[in-house]
Amino acid sequence: MFTQKIYVNNKPLVLTTDAKTYMQDNAMATGYLQFTGAFTRNFRLALQHLEKPGTLGAIIEDISPNSLQQSLYELYEPIDAAGGVVENENGAVLMIYRRGKWDLPKGKRDEGEDMATCALREVSEETGLTKLKLAEKIGNTYHVYSQGGQNLLKCTAWYKMKGSVKDTLVPQKEENILEAKWVDAAEMKMIVYKSYEAIREVLILAGLKW
């Protein structure tokens, strides 16, 4: 079964070849607005639905994964990014505060750069950490946004990393990062409440609990 979850306005747009199975596996999805067929009109209606306050999500089902992807790319230009879930020697996780939300460090891939290198560079640039050790890949997230008159689909590859409290945290002001801090398990519940759905998903996939 093909499934791709894209965050729009912090709400999920699910593209799938089997909506029934997806809803059985994800109870929350029974409240999503459902569309059948990878038609541009269905995408536009789903996106309009997700912009409304109080809506939960939307599902577009089609038998062809390629059709779902092509229709998405007609509306949004795909770009690659990477970031990291960094843990220190005490088990605390590195978080950044930007634009009123707690987030994980990440950024766009430079031309010719592989995703793992991008992840390490972006985490270092956004937080000031220099003693980073790369671990396994966690997975990918997708979200859409508009910038400079362009509609963009950002695919972010996430990696586990190790860092140290001995390294000095320096939030990157040029990227509107106001704070970078180590968050322990006791504080994580409050922090993730002020974060994005996609970030909570990444933390869960990384094996973190709160």
Q: Are 161 and 99 in a shared domain?
A: yes
Residue 209 has pLDDT above 90, yes or no: no
Neighbours of 77 (CB within 10 A): 12
Q: What percent of the chain has pLDDT over 70?
A: 100
Q: Are 10 and 67 in a shared domain?
A: yes
What is the value of pTM for the model shown?
0.93
- Cα(179)–Cα(23) distance, integer angstroms: 38
- Let me know if residue 62 belongs to a domain: yes
Residue 147 has pLDDT above 90, yes or no: no
pLDDT in tens, 93-109: 999 999 999 999 999 99
Domain stops at, among 18, 51, 75? 75
The whole domain housing 92 covers 83-205
Residue that has been written with the tokens 């972006």 in this structure: 122
Beta-strand relationship, 177-183 and 33-36: unpaired
φ, ψ for residue 62, nearest 5 deg: -155, 150
Q: Are 134 and 151 in a shared domain?
A: yes
- Let me know if residue 180 belongs to a domain: yes
> Which residue, 209, 180, 161, 210, is CA-closest to 103?
180
pLDDT value for 152: 96
Q: Are 117 and 109 in contact (CB under 8 A)?
A: no
- Cα(118)–Cα(111) distance, integer angstroms: 10
